[in-house]
């Protein structure tokens, strides 16, 4: 039986960088994100006798996708099956259009959920989002958060205790996002490895571990200004870490700088808008529902494309 799942990528509000366990994709500290309702990954899986595993992403067949196969093999082991699998996955926009929009998160979440259902594991465990998030984490830590949806926290522990749970909903904080997609050839994995050589990694782990508690409390209090400002500070710190690794990776593009500068001008003009970035150059602008159209128009006046979004839900079998 073919099973199709749809998941939303996420904006990491409190981000992790580098990993303490590369095989199981376990970060050094907890992280928090908000799913993005305007973007998605749709993944269909089917077990059978295909002579070998088949993985197709955005219409192109890929081989040796180690992290994708880590999820597949983990589910096969959990279900006690040995069949080959066929995976077909597509994103709402292509990787060439933007970097840093979190599609590894939605890809891992949709894959894990579809495999869980196709393996009949729901008959044994029920629809266990905690378990699905643990398996999705093997592709990317962010995928664990995408599984549970809305505002999610990934706990950094061991394989059993590193999972995601929903900590708040859109009803708690109706944040809106103006997304500015920007392309890049920097790979997130490359950046994760490089920050391990930064002299500031230990300081980053310490500050992020404190900020994650402040972030969760602010989300639950519905304090958008504090959430968005914490995300902005966290983004600057993250990119500072990236730039101080051995290879001095700079993920910013001129467009990224232009957007950040415009956002600060907006605040001087009395508009409440705050930027957030992941490991790529794409920019998220976090704001209030009543401000989102004005923010969109200001950014588009720079000649840049935008995507409007709100807080998205958990992974779904469709």
Task: Tell whether 126 and 141 lie within a shared domain.
Answer: yes
- Strand 283-287: give its sheet, edge to edge: 273-277, 283-287, 176-180, 307-309
Task: Tell whether 184 and 263 lie within a shared domain.
Answer: yes
Can you give the pLDDT at residue 164? 98
CA gap 24, 48 in Å, rounded: 26
| Domain assignment present for 166 | yes
| Domain assignment present for 317 | no
| Domain assignment present for 257 | yes
- Cα–Cα distances (Å) from 238 to 181, 192, 235, 280, in that order, read 19, 11, 5, 11
pLDDT per residue as tens digits for the range 114-140: 999 999 999 999 999 999 999 999 999
User: How far separated are the first and last CA of the chain, in Å rounded?
Assistant: 13
Task: Tell whether 160 and 25 lie within a shared domain.
Answer: yes
Q: What is the CATH number of the domain that holds 249?
A: 3.30.70.890
Helix (H, G, I), strand (E, B) or coil at 164: strand
Can you give the pLDDT at residue 186? 79
Q: What is the DSSP string of 87-104?
A: EEEEESS-GGG-SSS-HH
- Strand 151-154: give its sheet, edge to edge: 10-14, 31-35, 151-154, 164-168
| Domain assignment present for 181 | yes
Last residue of a domain, one of 171, 196, 223: 171
Can you give the pLDDT at residue 70? 95
Can you give the pLDDT at residue 200? 97
Which ranges of the chain does DSSP label H, i.e. alpha helix?
66-79, 103-118, 121-125, 129-136, 141-148, 188-194, 201-220, 224-243, 254-268, 292-300
| Domain assignment present for 222 | yes
pLDDT per residue as tens digits for the range 202-234: 999 999 999 999 999 999 999 999 999 999 999
What global pTM score does this model have?
A: 0.94
Query: Residues 39, 106: contact at Cβ < 8 Å?
Result: yes
Task: Tell whether 12 and 35 lie within a shared domain.
Answer: yes
| Domain assignment present for 248 | yes
User: How many domains in the chain?
Assistant: 2
Q: For residue 120, count other CB atoms closer than 10 A to its CB.
A: 12
| Domain assignment present for 314 | no
Task: Tell whether 195 and 263 lie within a shared domain.
Answer: yes
197 DSSP assignment:
G
Task: Tell whether 7 and 103 lie within a shared domain.
Answer: yes
Q: What is the CATH number of the domain that holds 151?
A: 3.30.230.10
Task: Tell whether 116 and 198 lie within a shared domain.
Answer: no
Task: Tell whether 21 and 135 lie within a shared domain.
Answer: yes
Task: Tell whether 18 and 134 lie within a shared domain.
Answer: yes
The first and second tokens of residue 115, run together, are 């495999």
- Cα–Cα distances (Å) from 141 to 176, 269, 294, 298, 306, in that order, read 24, 38, 34, 33, 26
Q: Which of 114, 111, 172 has its CA nearest to residue 137?
A: 111
The first and second tokens of residue 243, run together, are 């730039």
Last residue of a domain, one of 133, 153, 171: 171
Last residue of a domain, one of 140, 171, 202: 171
pLDDT per residue as tens digits for the range 255-314: 999 999 999 999 999 999 999 999 889 999 999 999 999 999 999 999 999 999 999 999
- Full domain range(s) for residue 21: 3-171
Q: For residue 202, count other CB atoms closer than 10 A to its CB.
A: 10
25-36 as b/e: b if 16+ CB within 10 A: bbbbbbbbbbbb
Task: Tell whether 117 and 134 lie within a shared domain.
Answer: yes
Can you give the pLDDT at residue 63? 82
Task: Tell whether 126 and 182 lie within a shared domain.
Answer: no
- The confidence band for 171, taking pLDDT boundaries of 50, 70 and 90, is very high
- The confidence band for 101, taking pLDDT boundaries of 50, 70 and 90, is confident
Q: Which of 185, 192, 230 has its CA nearest to residue 208?
A: 230
Task: Tell whether 75 and 222 lie within a shared domain.
Answer: no
**Rounded (5°) CA angle 216-217-222:** 100
CA gap 304, 247 in Å, rounded: 29
| Domain assignment present for 301 | yes
């Amino acid at each position: 039986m073919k099973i199709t799942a749809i998941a939303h990528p996420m904006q990491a509000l409190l981000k992790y960088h580098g990993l303490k366990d590369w095989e199981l994709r376990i970060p050094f500290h907890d992280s928090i994100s908000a799913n993005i309702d305007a973007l998605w990954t749709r993944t269909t899986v089917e077990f059978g006798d295909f002579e070998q595993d088949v993985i197709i992403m955005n219409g192109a067949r890929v081989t040796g996708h180690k992290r994708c196969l880590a999820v597949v093999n983990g589910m096969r082991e959990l279900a006690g099956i040995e069949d080959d699998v066929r995976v077909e996955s597509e994103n709402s926009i292509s990787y060439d259009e933007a970097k840093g929009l979190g599609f590894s998160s939605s890809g891992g979440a949709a894959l894990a959920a579809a495999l869980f259902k196709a393996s009949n594991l729901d008959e044994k465990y029920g629809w266990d989002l905690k378990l699905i998030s643990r398996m999705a984490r093997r592709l990317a830590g962010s995928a664990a958060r995408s599984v549970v949806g809305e505002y999610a926290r990934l706990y950094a522990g061991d394989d059993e205790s590193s999972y995601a749970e929903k900590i708040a909903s859109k009803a708690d904080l109706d944040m809106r996002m103006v997304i500015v997609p920007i392309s890049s050839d920097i790979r997130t994995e490359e950046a994760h490895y490089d920050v391990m050589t930064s002299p500031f990694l230990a300081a980053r782990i310490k500050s992020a571990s404190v900020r994650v508690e402040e972030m969760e409390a602010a989300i639950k209090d519905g304090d958008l200004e504090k959430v968005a400002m914490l995300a902005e500070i966290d983004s600057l710190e993250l990119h500072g870490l990236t730039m101080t690794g051995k290879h001095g990776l700079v993920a910013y593009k001129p467009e990224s700088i232009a957007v950040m500068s415009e956002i600060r001008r907006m605040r001087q003009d009395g508009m409440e808008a705050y930027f957030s970035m992941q490991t790529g150059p794409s920019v998220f602008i976090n704001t209030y529902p009543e401000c989102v159209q004005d923010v969109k128009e200001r950014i588009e006046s720079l000649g840049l494309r935008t995507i409007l979004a709100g807080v998205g839900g958990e992974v779904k079998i469709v």
